[in-house]
Structure 1
Amino acid sequence: MPIFNNKKLCVFLMGLIVFPSCLAQTYKNIYGWDANSNQRIESFLNSTIIINERKVAVFDCDGTLLGQTPYYLADEAIYQFAEIEYAHKKDSLSRAKMKIINKMLRTDNVSEAYLQLRIDFLAGLTPEVIEHIGNQCFHEKYQNKIYPELRQLLANLQAYGFEVWVLSASPELLYQEFVHKNLGIPKNRILGVKSVISHGKVTNQIIYPIPQGQGKAEAIQTFIKARPLMVCGNSRGDLEMMNESVGLKLIVNPDNEQIKKGASAGDMNGYTVKQYWIMHDGLILYCNDIPNFAHHYIAKDLHVKENKSNSKPTKISR
């Protein structure tokens, strides 16, 4: 019976000690995305195996990890809570909260003023109550809205040793519980609009930077403190965040109808979201985001404009 040369055996065993993570880092194809997309993601992930420093991936939430039709979860959760707790009461607190709801309905829902109104409404509640509001709305109306393709992508990132972060313009406490429980991302890596907590209750004092537009890039630098290797978003609001990536940039269901114009468009001025990312080497990906009108949406009762639906194209054209 042949006997291993002791020197060769030692080298072999040392190889197992030094490279165990490399042996485990095997890409699993993402069902629902085409071969070219899978190949590009796999090649990128394999290129990161040799990196010994923090490997960070950052994701937007609404429209990127989670479907946003017919309405944003943050808005539906707030409107539903208002309907149950305040809408039919005459006390001063209820009147004040419904006044905020009426302001929300008249304010641009991507403006900083709107983000402040959300926090104004939640002020006075405990963090636990706010987490429950978001978690309850998710389970009632949105639990089937997490894109299966993104679940598979997150599993691949975990296998390759990435830190996964979520960066959203929705209230942080409203999203942390259900995102953590359903995607396995630690709560301290689920970042949204933050507000000061004092004496156990949330206040209306927002903590900057606000993760919207340029604020998302600033939030990466302020809270995450590392340049991400991968960033994934879906809209104009994710532009600056995605440009923080030093590696792969993924764009989910990009709009190809509305041409962004003016100062608010930034570098995207004159282009649709899809056109811009095709020009800037973004990887265009599609997921089904179809509204389920079997649910009763309070936002519909309040005549809130529906978000655009997205059906995965049978033939993807760039």
Structure 2
Amino acid sequence: MNKKHLMSGIVIVLLLFITPSITAQTYREIKGWSKEINERIETFLNTTLTMNIRKVAVFDGDGTVVGQAPHYLADEALYRYADKFYKGKSDKFSKEKMAILNRMVKDGNNVGKAYVEDRAHFLAGMTPEEVANLGYDCYVESYQGKFYPEMKQLIANLKEYGFEVWILTASPEFLYQKFLSEELGIPEVNILGMKSVVVNGVLTNEIVLPIPQDDGKANVIPTFIKTRPLVVGGNSRGDMDMLNQSCGLKIVVNPDDKTVRGPEDGPMNGLTVKGYWEKEGAVIVRCNDVRDPKVRFHTSEWGIRENAINPKE
């Protein structure tokens, strides 16, 4: 082989190795979001191409990747299960489980730490598989079709750019892992939530700290994910601390623009959730989230407040 042919062969081999790395990371337009939002996301993702680090994106669950109108899936799964298996029964176990739910209803604050802890207490005594199937069955019957297509497209883009995608929810971890993993195509171990200690194959009442609510969500990131994320997405006041862990892009879905937050909300004091994130320069996006009138929601019948609808205009 002469020198010219040898050099041609080397160039071809190099192109074979180089070309995939160029074409593998291609941004695909997210249909349903504006050109401006797409350009902003694409520009940011392109800045990460040369990074030689763990590229991590973290998203809240309810209201961020999947619809939450009129109720959180975690609540619907529990109240639906209680109506089917415990309500009206006189045995000790059923009475204990109903007492937990009655306490939750009396509390009424289903984004408070005591309430989210009681969700875990209700599931104590079940196996992880039973809890996963409980969540999955509720998803199939009442929430299938409520995943936001725009967020699924965003997650697909992140994977294209070599990101690890994590979900961080205040809901019980085992309850959400199966259906979220299936819908979003991410490993179940990348779905973090309220953790209960498992002993002899069943969940116990012992909760693993930090509790992933409010400031606890932010603490879960260094505790379990163990690196600072480049992208964080959320939707509510409860996601503020988690969103502020992002060292890159902050994406806020359907933020509330009606309730002016008070002093207890720290830096949000005097602002709505949307107003705060506009001031902070977050990417604010809209996704359609309305109630399906054909679906019976047991949570409504228990008197739990309804989440606001967010029809996409």
TM-score interval for Structure 1 and Structure 2 normalised by the shorter chain: over 0.9
Residue identity opposite 2:182 in structure 1: K
Does residue 312 of the first structure (1) align with residue 306 of the second (2)? no
What is the match of residue 242 of structure 1?
243
Matched position secondary structure for 1:106: helix
CA offsets 1:81-122 (integer angstroms, 9 cap, x no match): 111110021000011110111011111111111111111110
**Farther off after superposition, 160-169 or 48-57:** 48-57
**Shift of the alpha carbon at 1:22?**
2.8
What is the match of residue 95 of structure 1?
95
CA offsets 1:272-314 (integer angstroms, 9 cap, x no match): 111011111100000000100211111111122111000123x
Identity of matched residues, %: 50
Q: What 5-or-longer segments of structure 2 have no aligned partner?
A: none
**Shift of the alpha carbon at 1:18?**
4.8
Q: Is the 8 A contact 1:257 1:272 kept in 2?
A: yes
Residue identity opposite 1:253 in structure 2: N
Matches within 5 A, 1:75-90: 75-90=75-90
Q: Distance in 2 between matches of 1:138 and 1:234?
A: 20
Residue identity opposite 2:213 in structure 1: Q
What is the match of residue 177 of structure 1?
178
Residue identity opposite 1:258 in structure 2: T
Matches within 5 A, 1:1-20: 6-7=6-7, 9-11=9-11, 13-18=13-18, 20=20
Q: Distance in 1 between matches of 2:19 and 2:54?
A: 17
Q: Distance in 2 between matches of 1:23 and 1:147?
A: 27
Residue identity opposite 2:180 in structure 1: V
Does residue 31 of the first structure (1) align with residue 45 of the second (2)? no
Does residue 228 of the first structure (1) align with residue 256 of the second (2)? no
**Farther off after superposition, 303-312 or 135-144:** 303-312
**Shift of the alpha carbon at 1:223?**
0.3
Query: How many positions carry a matched residue from both structures?
Result: 311
CA 1:22–1:227 in 2, change beyond 3 Å: closer, same or farther? farther
Residue identity opposite 1:45 in structure 2: L
Matched position secondary structure for 1:221: helix
TM-score after normalising by structure 1: 0.95
TM-score after normalising by structure 2: 0.96
Runs of 4+ in 1 over 6 A off after TM superposition: none
CA 1:15–1:245 in 2, change beyond 3 Å: closer, same or farther? farther
Q: Is the 8 A contact 1:254 1:273 kept in 2?
A: yes
Q: What 5-or-longer segments of structure 1 have no aligned partner?
A: 314-318
How large is the RMSD of aligned CA atoms in angstroms? 1.5
CA offsets 1:236-268 (integer angstroms, 9 cap, x no match): 1111111111111000001000011122x1221
Does residue 67 of the first structure (1) align with residue 62 of the second (2)? no
Residue identity opposite 1:186 in structure 2: P
